[in-house]
Chain A
Amino acid sequence: MEFLITTVVAYLVYLLLTIGSGTVALWSTAELIIGAVLAVVVGAVLRNRFIGKDLRMLNPKRWFIFLVYLFPFVWAMARANIDVAYRVITGRINPAIVKIDPKLKNDMSLTILANSITLTPGTLSVDVRPETNELYVHWINVDPEVLKDMPRDYHPICGSFPDWARRIAG
């Protein structure tokens, strides 16, 4: 199973990279054959490395949720850029490094969350504590209300992104 998935993914990437090389659909016959051979080799070598034991990302429902997630994500990204542009021009910053506990269980969802945090308004993920899955986030404009109690509320910092990450890969 792992061999099959790795081979198919490798072949798809090869096809994307060699698109436009000929006239069988969009590829030349030579590229199709070489790609298949190389994909089998890659699948045989990397079958235990590429996905490990976890097959949950195969579920097409998770891919669909990921595509839906791109819309609020791009919207947050646009706001992030206007926010940074405002701070670049006015120089108004009030930064801190805060610890949040997004209560995520696995590496994939934590990666999605950390990358989303970096690209969305006012926050940048700095460090992670792997044993408890807590994130340390550099926050450019601190809300003093959040700093009062110690298990910090993550909603003012990263909104509903932890819930999205849990739905995609949790």
Chain B
Amino acid sequence: MTALNVATYVFIGIGLFFNYVGAFGLHRFPDVYTRLHAATKCTTFGSIFLILAVVMQSAGMWAVEGTHSPQSIMTIHSLLALVALMVTNATGAHAMARAAHRSGEKPARAVVDDLEKKEND
């Protein structure tokens, strides 16, 4: 049980670190696209670790308490949340980036903008 607890604390630490980096990136980066980089990648990866920590704890309790333990709800629902998170986070970022570009937001300090050329054609 203690090894499981140590692994859980390590996962929570990693998850909090990456979520913190994502939030910090929102302040550091100059425009909406680079901010989306920080917001999507870091929060998805960090949340994966946080959810895995929950899954490890509840699956450990499920194994101890036997098949009909209510911890099965926690384990399976957390995994479902993980799948939903990975799909919707990337899709949402894509939608926001597309909407930003369509409403005329230029990427800051950009060297090339192929999408700009397409709209001028």
Contacts and interface: CB of A to CB of B under 8 A. Distances in A.
B111 A96 contact: yes
Interface of B: 18, 21-22, 24-25, 28-30, 33-34, 36-38, 40-42, 44-45, 67-73, 76-77, 80, 86-87, 89-91, 93-94, 97-98, 101, 107-116, 118
A165 B50 CA distance: 28
A26 B68 CA distance: 6
Interface of A: 16-17, 19-20, 23, 26, 77-78, 80-81, 84-85, 87-88, 91, 93-99, 114-116, 118-119, 122, 124-127, 129, 136, 138, 140, 142, 144, 147
Given A95-B111, A99-B115, A81 B45 contact: yes
Name the prevailing secondary structure of the B interface residues: helix
Contacts of A19: 72-73, 76
Contact of B18 (A81, A94, A129): A81
A84 B21 contact: yes
A85 B68 CA distance: 42
B90 A114 contact: yes
Q: Which 7 A-B residue pairings sit nearest by Cβ, starting from the closest?
A: A99-B114, A115-B90, A20-B72, A20-B73, A118-B90, A88-B25, A96-B112
